[in-house]
Structure 1
Amino acid sequence: MENMAEGYKQLLTPLFFMPELPLIQDFGACPKRVCERVEAASTVLWVDPSSAANRLRSAVEALMDYEGIPRRGFSRGKSYEISLHNRIERFKVAKPEFSEAAELVLAVKWTGNAGSHGSEIRAHDVLDAIEILDRTIQHIYDTSAMGIKKKAEDIIARKGMPASRITQLPVPPF
């Protein structure tokens, strides 16, 4: 609301949305448990941003689970828990094609840690982490770029001729 005659501007901040606003529009082939945790973050984002940040950290844990990065290690006859940070580092080594994605989720992990340990997290901080997580999910699971590349290769192979005009070789009967 603006009242320029009196020289002030009032800004409104939402406290709650029902139903919650989706934080990521299209998960594509995103693992179900990751999606569930992101949706859980959306339910509390405006009421408790720190809790939402923690739920995003949990989404990163679920992502590492899905990618087969173990939660537990074994050394000297004893089992131990592997930190999320170390799991992300192991992901980077195990799947070098996703090293950029691993770097991105470190930021989400740090935001989640801050939310978990009492730091002042704002909704804006969580939205930044969501944007990073969304890009990570796209990088790992979105195959549309490969589909577009395949279409371009097909068009180049046909030299632009419409696919419907290409006559196929007759298939001999069996």
Structure 2
Amino acid sequence: MICDNEKCAEAVTVSGRTSVDVDFNHEGHPFLSTYYKILFAFPSPVPISMPIHTPDGVKSALIAAAGLLWATPDAAMNKLRQAVEAFLSAEKIPSTTTKKPRGRVRLSLHCRITRYGETPKGLPLASALLAAKWLGNAGSHDDGSASVTRDDVLLAFQVVEHVLDERYSDRRQKLLQQITAVNKKKGPVRPTRRKTRVKPPF
């Protein structure tokens, strides 16, 4: 399989299962349809875009989650939870604290998110991080509930992508600059072209 993005065009090795089933057209006539279920892809495409300034620990966890997505959604969800932990560490939110008389104890992910939400930069992202945590818990804790689906994992990917875009992407800032420029000019803004001087051949 080859990526249809011309800037990528990466070849991916895919394996899985095929099945054939009977479907019916709009006139009620039966026909055979072939279905493919992917169980393995290498290299596994990450289903979201990661801003250039995404911390390495977050990138590693997301790439690992993508590799597990097709075969074991539960394990993929667990890796996404680790991506949230790595994000908070990159944001300088401590993972431990000191409590008497026990000494140093580990902070729960929920507690770390709450602390991050108390900061100016973390306030608008805390809700999304909590959603990612709850989804991640479904893959980390076997509580007898329904197993994690691939759609659950893809939703968690989207939630993490939102957090990364809001924190590390410069697209929003560039758009605000363009909005200011359009309002100032009261119309479309064209890029200025530099005039290049042609040196004489002698």
TM range (shorter): 0.7 to 0.9
Distance in 2 separating the partners of 1:26 and 1:151: 23
Pick from 156, 161, 173 the counterpart of residue 129 of structure 1.
156
CA contact (8 A) 2:50 2:164 kept: no
Higher relative contact order (CA 8 A, sep 6+): 1
Where in structure 2 are the equivalents of 1:31-42 lying within 5 Å? 31-42=55-66
2:138 maps to amino acid: A
User: 5+ unaligned residues in a row in structure 2: which ranges?
Assistant: 1-19, 194-202
CA contact (8 A) 2:39 2:70 kept: yes
1:89-130 deviations in Å (ceiling 9; x for gaps):
0000023x4323111111111121111122511111101111
**TM-score normalised by the chain length of structure 2:** 0.71
Distance in 1 separating the partners of 2:163 and 2:179: 25
1:57-111 deviations in Å (ceiling 9; x for gaps):
000000000011100001225111100000000000023x432311111111112
CA contact (8 A) 1:23 1:38 kept: no
Q: Does 1:21 align with 2:45?
A: yes
Distance in 1 separating the partners of 2:167 and 2:47: 18
Could you say which residue in structure 2 is the equivalent of 1:114?
A: 138
Q: Does 1:98 align with 2:122?
A: yes
1:125-155 deviations in Å (ceiling 9; x for gaps):
1011111111111111112111221233244
Between Structure 1 and Structure 2, the one with more strand by share is: 2
CA contact (8 A) 1:57 1:113 kept: yes
Segment of structure 1 superposing worse, 3-12 or 35-44: 3-12
Report % sequence identity: 29
Shift of 1:11: 4.0
CA contact (8 A) 1:27 1:35 kept: no
How many residues are paired up?
Answer: 164
Between Structure 1 and Structure 2, the one with more helix by share is: 1
CA-based RMSD of the aligned residues comes to: 2.4
Shift of 1:163: 6.4
Decide whether aligned partners of structure 1 residues 94 and 100 sit closer, same or farther in structure 2, where only a CA change above 3 A counts: closer
Could you say which residue in structure 2 is the equivalent of 1:142?
A: 169
Segment of structure 1 superposing worse, 115-124 or 130-139: 115-124
Shift of 1:159: 5.5
